[in-house]
Structure 1
Amino acid sequence: MTTRILIVRTSSLGDLVHMLPAISDIARHVPDASIDWLAEEAFAEIPSWHPAVHEVIPVAHRRWRRHWWAADTRRERAALRATLGARRYDVVLDMQALMKSIWLVRQTRGVRHGLDWKSAREPLASLFYDVRHRVEFWQPAIVRQRALAAAAFGYAVEGPPDFGLHALTDGVAIEPAALIMPSASRDDKLWPDADWRQVFDDLQGRGLALRLLAGNEAEQARAQALIRGRADAAVLPRMGLRQVADQLARARIMVGLDSGLTHLSAGLGRPTIGIYKASTPVRTPLQGPAYTASLGERGQAPDAGRVRAAIAEALDEARADPPRADSPAPMGGAG
């Protein structure tokens, strides 16, 4: 008998990546599960990459809130409400526990599970669940998500996180290139140009080409300025999520600011170094099947020397036990 499950976790990019191991756990422990996932339209590709996800239901809250009462927005919201109202789930699991997710949860049909008052970031959200679960707050996001799923379905969390992204990495040839993410959603996350240039010198001295990721025009301009005058260095054009994931899967190493793409790199099993300056890695450290290092702290950015040391450790470890493209690499160190 099929167990129909709806996961509610709409955003952001990094948060959806952190959810993937919990989906692997559910699929392993609830073998008859049919899992649907409500996700923000901009990130809906990420759940679709997991083989255990049956259907991704897109929601456009970020776009709708700009024109909430416009006719097109009201039609789209009504269509979503009709879609959710027409389905009956055995378990509706809200992995977000925010009031912005509750308006979606209230439109669903099924037994609604979520965090209890002491566990939720917005405690009022807990009042809208049929079943509430206690999960320790100050834990890494992946650990919390796996613990909540385990509580909802009555199993114990076992083993390292499995992101379920093997279809994106199996058979992929690793290229002699470093992927760099020097941009972030906030200026207070940016790292000094002089430090980046030291890191670039180090990577190129190891024979690696530089490939920089950038989104909008300002990020493109900043990235171009960082590599000006360097040979074998380029800013990649703006791409869709799948194209970015393909670039990350082929990279020898990834170095980036605390961003969703840096967490995606770790989930894909690439050696990944994250630079934290305006946020703490306590709750969102990099995790993945290869080497990861989460460097810095809120108000205390790592210097170039520390990042270069992590690069050396990551590449030396990979040389000692090179990852195969068709299987997960061994667990690496963490900074």
Structure 2
Amino acid sequence: MTKRVLLIKMSSLGDIVHTFPALTDAQKALPGIQFDWVVEAPFKDLPKLHPAVNQVIVNPRLAINKNRFSLTSLQLYQEFKQKIQSTHYDAVIENQYVNKGAKVAKLAKGIKHGLTANSAHDACIAKVFDHAHYVSRSLHAIDRSRKLLALSLGYDTAFKEHTTDLDNALDYGLDLSHIELDEHNQRWQQQTGEYLVFCQATTWATKHLPIKMWIELLEKAKQAGLPVLLPWVGDKEQAQVSAMIQQAQWGEILPAQSLEQWAKLLAGARGIIGVDTGLTHLAAALNKPTLCLFGPTNPNLTAAKGRRAKTLWLNLACSPCMQTHCPREGGQVCFSQMNVDEVWGELNARH
């Protein structure tokens, strides 16, 4: 009999990518297992990249929050609740570790699993679960998900046996064979392995690489004759990327893309340079030559992991500060002290 599991991991892009190896573990330990995965709308295409995912259930929380007391919001909530409760699951696993995930778990039918009060981000959620499991907060995000699913589904011994060498044992299990590039992007298929992607888009101000460094990296790519694609999010960043391209006289900015399209474009790239952002982690998951540049965040917890990925981080006295705004009077140094030649060399060393 097929085991049906509801997995609750709704955001962010990088966090969702970090969850994929746990599904692969579950497939190996419990052949035929199927997951229904609850995500927020911006990430609805991502879980479909893993063959263990049966269906994606979109949590309309973001749409509801825009107009909480409207009739439309009430209808969205009722439809979501009905969808969640249409299946009695063998296990419901809250893998978000916070209140918004626990609220979804509470709606679902099935034995509920999550973290203990002293290992979740929101301690109060532990009371929602039938089984609360302790998973150390000092583990990398990938290992936290792998450990939680192993404990929840009863194959903890198998988990221990398969994680002696994290980078080499990692199997994200992603399948992009069903994705076709749209007409705007099909020309890149003829250049597979001959272009780069620079992932500069991120949420925190402190995680942004200085524009000057991106321009210098674009110039390096120009000298090597390697086209560069640059993702963007929002009008402000689109304008910034366009200005960088104009100054370097190199690079290309594409129209807004779905995550499926970006996954396919990343899979065809020669290499990827990016900051600590979701697309960079997705590139690492696709086993592409990936260089992830860390500044204020902690690589011990969220470094890009993959057989051809490397995280570059300057272990300064002030880092990782985990601050969204740099508290230093002289400004951010965790990136400004990086050497562009070293960054470029490290990317080439990934091949």
Match of residue 190 from structure 1? 208
Query: In the alignment, which of 262, 266, 281 is matched to residue 248 of structure 1?
Result: 266
Partners of 1:188 and 1:314 lie apart in 2 by 22
Q: CA deviation at 1:89?
A: 0.6
Q: CA deviation at 1:307?
A: 5.0
Partners of 1:207 and 1:255 lie apart in 2 by 16
Match of residue 327 from structure 1? none
Match of residue 105 from structure 1? 105
Matching residue's letter, 1:301? C
Residues 216 and 248, structure 2, Cα contact 8 Å, conserved in 1: no
TM-score by length of 2: 0.84
Partners of 1:153 and 1:204 lie apart in 2 by 50
Matching residue's letter, 1:62? L
CA RMSD of aligned residues (A): 2.2
Does residue 154 of structure 1 match 2:154? yes
Partners of 2:130 and 2:34 lie apart in 1 by 21
Matching residue's letter, 2:223? G
Q: CA deviation at 1:309?
A: 2.0
Q: CA deviation at 1:201?
A: 2.5
| Off by >6 Å, runs of 4+ in structure 1 | none
Residues 195 and 304, structure 1, Cα contact 8 Å, conserved in 2: no
Using the TM superposition, name which of 305-314 and 12-21 deviates more: 305-314
Q: CA deviation at 1:316?
A: 3.1
Classify 1:117/1:254 alpha carbon distance in 2 versus 1 (closer, same or farther; 3 Å).
Answer: same
Partners of 2:210 and 2:9 lie apart in 1 by 34
Match of residue 315 from structure 1? 348
Matching residue's letter, 2:125? A
Query: In the alignment, which of 297, 301, 304 is matched to residue 286 of structure 1?
Result: 304
TM-score by length of 1: 0.88
Does residue 165 of structure 1 match 2:206? no
Partners of 2:86 and 2:245 lie apart in 1 by 53
1:198-253: CA deviation from partner (whole Å, max 9, x where unpaired): 22232333331222111211111111111214444211221111111121111111
Classify 1:308/1:150 alpha carbon distance in 2 versus 1 (closer, same or farther; 3 Å).
Answer: farther
Q: CA deviation at 1:304?
A: 6.8
| Mapping for residues 184-333 of structure 1, pairs under 5 Å | 184-296=202-314, 297-298=319-320, 300-303=333-336, 305-306=338-339, 308-318=341-351
Partners of 1:60 and 1:254 lie apart in 2 by 32
Matching residue's letter, 2:137? F
Match of residue 21 from structure 1? 21
1:77-117: CA deviation from partner (whole Å, max 9, x where unpaired): 11111122221011001111211111111111110001111
1:43-70: CA deviation from partner (whole Å, max 9, x where unpaired): 0111111111111111121221121221
Partners of 2:148 and 2:341 lie apart in 1 by 36
Partners of 1:95 and 1:123 lie apart in 2 by 14
Classify 1:78/1:317 alpha carbon distance in 2 versus 1 (closer, same or farther; 3 Å).
Answer: closer
1:7-32: CA deviation from partner (whole Å, max 9, x where unpaired): 01111111111111111111111113
Partners of 2:9 and 2:283 lie apart in 1 by 20
Match of residue 124 from structure 1? 124
Partners of 2:48 and 2:74 lie apart in 1 by 26
> Identity percentage over the alignment?
28
Match of residue 5 from structure 1? 5
Q: CA deviation at 1:317?
A: 4.1
Partners of 2:87 and 2:229 lie apart in 1 by 45
Match of residue 330 from structure 1? none
Count of residue correspondences: 318
Query: Which structure 2 segments of 5+ residues have no match?
Result: 164-168, 180-188, 322-332
Classify 1:24/1:278 alpha carbon distance in 2 versus 1 (closer, same or farther; 3 Å).
Answer: same
Partners of 1:307 and 1:127 lie apart in 2 by 49
Residues 59 and 80, structure 2, Cα contact 8 Å, conserved in 1: yes
Residues 17 and 282, structure 2, Cα contact 8 Å, conserved in 1: yes
Classify 1:234/1:317 alpha carbon distance in 2 versus 1 (closer, same or farther; 3 Å).
Answer: closer
Partners of 2:320 and 2:178 lie apart in 1 by 33
Match of residue 78 from structure 1? 78
Partners of 1:9 and 1:317 lie apart in 2 by 31
